[in-house]
Amino acid sequence: MSLADTRVIAAHNPHRRRRSKDLPLYMRIILLGSSVSENSQVGNFILGRAAFDSEAPPDVVERVGGRLKDRHLIIINSPQLLQTNISDHQITQTVRECVFLSDPGPHVIVLLLRHEQCSAEDQECVEKVLLSFSEQVYQHTMVLTTQEPTETSDILQNIIQKCANRHFSLQRSSSPDDLLQMFEDIVKMNDHLECAEAAQCFTMKQQITERLSEAVKLNLVVCGSDGMLKSSVSEQILQQTDRRSDVELHDRQISVIELPALARLSEEEVMRQTLSCVSLCHPGVHAFLLIIPDAPLNHEDKADTEKIQRIFSSRINKHIMILIKQDSEHQTEGLSEETQSVIERFGGRHHFFGPKTQVSTLMENIEQMLEGNRGEFYSTETFLEAQMKTLMKYDEIKKKINSIDTYLLSQGNEQKISLSMKKKVLTDFF
């Protein structure tokens, strides 16, 4: 059974609430905030080490494990969900990943809030984000502030009251043990939060459920190094239905997921993000939309396209559409050699995307690609098979290099392939 299949079954058959008051072996905690540095500070405080990077991209959700006293903890860190300018689409996508990483559900959700910046707009954002997880979310939620003013604002106090007056103020003299005690108290009362609605990617409102159930699912993954361009494309696709993450367009129920820029991530994080992205698309990805600018590609653009090709393998080519971003409404007469090379490398399909682009035209091109693929999609199994083939090829190259070394030594030849040359061979191969 695939990872995607497992997730769907879990969503439709939620775990029964445990009656025992015993604490779980692993306590899953989600940190929600609006600042990368502040989220990292709190995550590092809980785990007692530099587990989170304060310079990490804000759109990356990290999962890190550790121990506090005798308790195993898993921290899911989302440093952008409480930003007031975040779109409904970004909320949906980020909540979806938080639920995925905390399966079968988080035990505690920590709101990182600031006294001086807590406004009515902040309260509205907090409520929207929390209710995206579950209607029972407040039973599992607490507020954490990193400074102690002379008095607490009415708005912040309202949020704290909704969280059953659970509030922790992080001071220099604060102990992680005190915070752990609050976590354990929440777990003893409630066990984990069942996020069936969020796990199903924001099930649509009741009055349109039947209509959506008859639609054909279409999973789109937006790729590229420029986060603003990806959000722009996603929003233009979704804008016809109030920017929800699952919409109907061209008689299809459409889900849009943005893959974080891979160039700035470690190899381990690249593998986690790409696998997570494919796994969230059940039963698989129907179309990858890779955005590149209508200009010379910079270093990050090149690195991102190369990593996408390497990680997903050539099997992505039949499912990918290159989107060429243009600032003007007129298409350029010709494409640069570099841009043309990227298009050809990924199968030859491309579409110009600009401020005057009609989403319907883009969807028609995607529909043509889907017809050519006869309903096939890029599944989790496809992804894992690609990784296995890569590992097998890697082993073959290592064996060939070892054979050459053995042959030269058997001939009494002291000349050997240097380590740098071996690295170059492996790098060129991949």
At 354-363, the pLDDT tens digits run 766 677 788 8
Name the band, by pLDDT with cuts 50, 70 and 90, for residue 395: low
pLDDT over 80 (residue 33): yes
Rounded-to-integer distance, Cα 31 and Cα 43, Å: 8
Q: Determine the pLDDT at residue 246.
A: 45
201 vs 220, residue with greater confidence: 220
- Tally the C-alpha atoms within 13 A of residue 409's C-alpha that lie toward its C-beta: 7
Beta carbons within 8 Å of 352's beta carbon, 6+ residues apart: 294, 323, 324, 326, 331
Average pLDDT of the chain to the nearest whole number: 76
Length, in residues, of the chain: 430
Order of strands across the sheet that contains 167-169:
62-68, 71-78, 26-32, 108-112, 141-145, 167-169
User: Could you identify the residue written with the tokens 């969020």?
Assistant: 198
pLDDT over 90 (residue 30): yes
340-353 tens-digit pLDDT: 888 888 888 888 88
pLDDT over 60 (residue 127): yes
Output the furthest CA–CA distance in the chain (Å, rounded).
84
Q: Determine the pLDDT at residue 143.
A: 92
pLDDT over 50 (residue 17): no
The answer to whether 82 and 94 have CB atoms below 8 angstroms apart is no
pTM: 0.54
Residue 140 is classified by DSSP as: G
The whole-number average pLDDT for the span 367-380 is: 84
Q: Determine the pLDDT at residue 406.
A: 66
Name the band, by pLDDT with cuts 50, 70 and 90, for residue 7: very low
290-329 tens-digit pLDDT: 998 877 888 888 999 999 988 898 889 889 999 987 765 5
Q: Determine the pLDDT at residue 86.
A: 85
**pLDDT above 90 covers what percent of the chain?**
11
Name the band, by pLDDT with cuts 50, 70 and 90, for residue 289: very high
347 vs 247, residue with greater confidence: 347
Buried b (16+ CB within 10 A) or exposed e, 18-53: eeeeeeeeebbbbbbbbbbebbbbbbbbbbeeebbe
The whole-number average pLDDT for the span 255-260 is: 88
The region of weakest confidence among 201-205, 249-253, 347-351 is: 201-205
102-115 tens-digit pLDDT: 878 899 999 998 87
**pLDDT above 70 covers what percent of the chain?**
73
Rounded-to-integer distance, Cα 336 and Cα 318, Å: 23
The whole-number average pLDDT for the span 76-84 is: 88
